[in-house]
Chain A
Amino acid sequence: SQQGEEDPQALSIQEGENATMNCSYKTSINNLQWYRQNSGRGLVHLILIRSNEREKHSGRLRVTLDTSKKSSSLLITASRAADTASYFCATAVQGGKLIFGQGTELSVKP
Chain B
Amino acid sequence: GAGVSQSPRYKVAKRGQDVALRCDPISGHVSLFWYQQALGQGPEFLTYFQNEAQLDKSGLPSDRFFAERPEGSVSTLKIQRTQQEDSAVYLCASSRDRVPTVSGNTIYFGEGSWLTVV
Q: Which A residues lie at the B interface, using CB under 8 A?
A: 1-2, 4, 30-31, 33, 35, 41-45, 48, 50, 88, 90, 92-103
Query: Other than the known A42-B112, A92-B104, A98-B101, what 19 A-B pairs have Cβ atoms closer than 8 Å?
Result: A2-B41, A2-B42, A4-B42, A30-B102, A30-B104, A31-B101, A35-B109, A41-B112, A43-B109, A45-B107, A48-B104, A94-B102, A95-B56, A96-B48, A96-B99, A97-B48, A97-B56, A100-B43, A100-B44
B111 at the interface (CB under 8 A from A): yes
Q: Which B residues lie at the A interface, using CB under 8 A?
A: 4, 31, 33, 35, 41-45, 48, 50, 55-56, 59, 91, 93, 99-102, 104, 106-112
Contacts of A45 in B (CB 8 A): 106-109
User: Does A96 contact B101, Cβ atoms closer than 8 Å?
Assistant: yes
Give the docked Cα–Cα distance between A97 and B41 (Å): 17
Given contacts A30-B101, A30-B102, A92-B101, contact A98 B108 (CB under 8 A): no
Total A-B residue pairs with C-beta atoms closer than 8 Å?
74
Report 11 cross-chain contacts, Cβ distance below 8 Å, ordered by A residue. Answer: A30-B102, A42-B109, A42-B110, A45-B108, A93-B101, A95-B48, A96-B33, A97-B45, A98-B43, A100-B43, A101-B42
Contact partner of A97 (CB less than 8 A), chosen from B42, B59, B112, is B59
Contacts of A2 in B (CB 8 A): 41-42, 44
Contact partner of B111 (CB less than 8 A), chosen from A35, A41, A99, A101, is A41
Give the docked Cα–Cα distance between A43 and B110 (Å): 7
Give the docked Cα–Cα distance between A48 and B104 (Å): 7
Contacts of A41 in B (CB 8 A): 111-112
Nearest 8 pairs between A and B by C-beta?
A92-B101, A100-B42, A43-B109, A42-B109, A97-B45, A42-B111, A96-B48, A100-B43
